Amino acid sequence: MTSRLRARRRVLLVVTALAFIAVLAHLGLLDAGQLAFGARNVAIFTRDLFPPDPTVIGRVGIAILETIEIAFAGTLLGCVAALPLAIASSEVAAGPGSARVMRAVLAFIRTIPALLWAVVFVVAVGLGAAAGTLGVAVYSAGYLGKLYADAMDGVDPEVIEAVRATGASRVQVARLAIIPETMHALLTQLLFVFEYNVRASSILGFVGAGGIGFYLLGYLQSLQYDRLMTAVLATFVAVMLIDALSARLYRWLTDA
Amino acid sequence: MLVDVDLQARAGEIVMIAGRSGGGKTTLLRAIKGILQPQRGHLSVLGAPPRVDGRADPRIGFIPQQLGLVRAETVLANTLTGACSRTGLLRSLLGRFAPEEYERAHAILDQLGIGEYAQLPVRMLSGGQRQRVAIARSLMQQPSILLADEFVSQLDLVTAREILEVTRAIARRGVTVLMTTHEVEMAREFADRIVMLQDGRVAVDAPATDVDVARIREVLR
C-alpha cells in the first residue's frame, strides 16, 4: 500500500469519527443529564412491565389471531397480484421495454410501507382489519413482484427459447416454462414474506387498521405497562410459532 | 457469421451440419428457426422467410443443445408444450390441454419408448431419455422440419446411435432433419447429406456416402 493511500484512509477514519460524534451530540446521546433521566425512566418502565397482566389474554389472543389473518390474507392477495406484475416486470418473460416500466411501478409500490398503505385504505374503506389486509396486500404485491421477477429473470434462457420455439405465446411461455422453473423460489419467497407480514401487521393497529397494534398502542398510551407486556409476550410467542411452522414448511418443500 | 451459405433440403432428408466449434453451425440453425435475423441475403424456410417477431412457426421444431426442457415438470407436461400453438389462452393458463392432445402425446411417448415415464419429472431421467422427451415435444408440433443442435454430443455411443435411429424413423415420415454435430463419423453413417461449415462458409456439401474424407480432415484441422 502506498503512503498516499494510507494517508487518505487515515483522513477518512478521522472525518468519519468526528462526524459520528457530531451526530450523536445532535441526537442528544452525549447529554449526560438527559441520559441519566432516560435511564431512570427505563427502570420505572421495566419495573411496571412485571408481572404481566393475565386478565387481558383473551382479547389479546383474539387480536393476535386477527393480526395473523391480516398477514395471511394480505400475503395471498399480494401473491395473486404479484404473479402477473412479475411476469410483466421480467425481461425474459415480457421483454426489456415492459420490464423497465413495470419495475418502476413495483419500486413505487415498495417505497410506501405497509403501514402507510393501511392509512390509505383506512381512508378508503374505513377503520378495521379490511384496511390492514389491503395495505399488506398492496405492499406484498410490490415486494413479491420484485422477488418473483428477479427469480424469473434467472431462468435458463435456453428453456424459454425452446418453449417459445414450439409456437407458444408469451403468456404460454410464462405459464408452462417460467412459472414451473421458478416454482420453488416463488413458494419460499411467499413464506418469507408471510413471516415478514406477521411482524409488520402487528403495528397496523397504530393507524386503526386492525390487529394487536391497537392494544399495543392503547396500553402504551394509557401507561398500562403490565398489560402491554402481556400483549408483547403473546405477540412474541405467536411470531415464534409462525417462524417454526414456516421453517418446517420450507424444509418440507425443499426436501421434496 | 455466415457468408454465402446456400443450402436446400428435401422433405425427409437428414442433413448433418458439421464443422469445428465457432464455424457457424448453431448460428445457421438459429437463423433457420428465426431466432436470429440475417443482416443481409435471403433465407426461405418452407417457402417464406422465418418469423422473427411474434410467435414462432410451429412447423419448425427446434431442439437446443441443452434440450431446453422444464426440469421440474413431468415428461407428459413437457411433451404437451409442443401443442401450444393449437391451444387457447384459457386452457394454457389452466395447464389443461384438449383430450386429443393428451392422446397424441401418449402415442408419441409410446413410439419413443418412454411412455412409462410420462408422469415422472424430467430431472429424474437419464440423458438419453431426456433427449427423447425433447424429440417428443418437437413431434407434438407436427413439424415439417426438425432442427437439432449438437443433439447427441453429450451421449454415450450406444445411446447416441439409438437416438439417431429414432431421428431416422422421423425423417422417413417426411420430416426434414437438420442436425449440427462435430461427430463426423456418425454423420457419415446416419445422414443423407453432410454440410461442413468453415469460418461461416460452406466448405463441403455432399451426399454422406460420397463425402471426401481427406477434405473433411482438412476442414477439421
- pLDDT, one tens digit per residue, over A37-90 is 889 988 988 898 989 999 999 999 999 999 999 999 999 999 999 999 999 999
Contact yes or no for B35 and A165 at CB 8 A: yes
Which three three-digit cell numbers place residue B43? 433465407
Contact yes or no for B66 and A161 at CB 8 A: no
Which three three-digit cell numbers place residue B91? 386452457
- Number of C-beta neighbours around residue B217 at 10 A: 10
CB B27, CB A125: distance < 8 Å: no
CA distances to A37, A96, A211 from A243, in Å? 37, 37, 18
Instruction: Give me the residue from A165, A167, A180 closest to B70, CB to CB.
Output: A180
B142: closest chain A residue by CA: A166
Q: Which of B36, B57, B74, B81 should one mutate to test binding to chain A, selecting the residue with the greatest count of A CBs within 10 A? A: B81
Chain B contacts in chain A segment 125-184 (CB below 8 A): 156, 158-169, 171-172, 175-177, 180-181, 183-184
Confidence of residue A251 (pLDDT cuts 50, 70, 90): confident
Contact yes or no for A165 and B95 at CB 8 A: no
Give percent above pLDDT 70 in chain B: 100
Task: Respond yes or no on whether ipTM tops 0.85.
Answer: yes
Instruction: Give me the residue from A165, A175, A177 closest to B33, CB to CB.
Output: A165
Q: Nearest CA of chain B to the CA of A105: how many Å?
A: 25
Confidence of residue A1 (pLDDT cuts 50, 70, 90): low
Confidence of residue A121 (pLDDT cuts 50, 70, 90): very high
Confidence of residue A255 (pLDDT cuts 50, 70, 90): low
Q: Which of B29, B84, B133 should one mutate to test binding to chain A, selecting the residue with the greatest count of A CBs within 10 A? A: B84
Which residues of chain B make contact with A171, given a CB cutoff of 8 A?
89, 92-93
Written as tens digits, the pLDDT of chain B (221 aa) is 777 788 888 899 999 998 888 888 888 899 999 888 888 888 888 888 887 777 899 999 999 999 999 998 999 999 999 999 999 989 988 989 999 999 999 999 998 999 999 999 999 999 989 999 999 999 999 999 999 998 787 788 888 888 888 899 999 999 999 999 877 888 888 899 999 888 888 888 888 888 877 787 777 77
Give percent above pLDDT 70 in chain A: 99
Contact yes or no for B55 and A162 at CB 8 A: no
- Number of C-beta neighbours around residue B107 at 10 A: 13
Task: Give me the pLDDT at residue B54, please.
Answer: 78
Q: Which of A92, A156, A159, A166 should one mutate to test binding to chain B, selecting the residue with the greatest count of B CBs within 10 A? A: A166
Examine the pLDDT at A191 and tell me if it is beyond 90: yes
Task: Give me the pLDDT at residue B216, please.
Answer: 79
Contact yes or no for B141 and A166 at CB 8 A: yes
Task: Give me the pLDDT at residue B150, please.
Answer: 86
Confidence of residue A256 (pLDDT cuts 50, 70, 90): low
Alpha carbon distance A122, A26 (integer Å): 36
Q: Which domains does chain B have, with CATH numbers?
A: 1-59+143-221 (3.40.50.300), 71-142 (no CATH)
Contact yes or no for B93 and A177 at CB 8 A: no
Alpha carbon distance B148, B65 (integer Å): 7
Examine the pLDDT at A246 and tell me if it is beyond 70: yes
Tell me the β-bridge partners of B176. Answer: B145
Task: Give me the pLDDT at residue B39, please.
Answer: 81
What single-letter amino acid sits at A242? I
Task: Give me the pLDDT at residue B9, please.
Answer: 87
Alpha carbon distance A130, A114 (integer Å): 13
Which residues of chain A make contact with B55, given a CB cutoff of 8 A?
167-169
Q: Looking at the structure, give the CATH architecture of the domain made up of residues A54-255.
A: Orthogonal Bundle (1.10)
pTM of the model: 0.82
- Number of C-beta neighbours around residue A252 at 10 A: 9
Mean pLDDT (whole number) for A243-256: 82
Domain-by-domain residue ranges, chain A? 3-49, 54-255
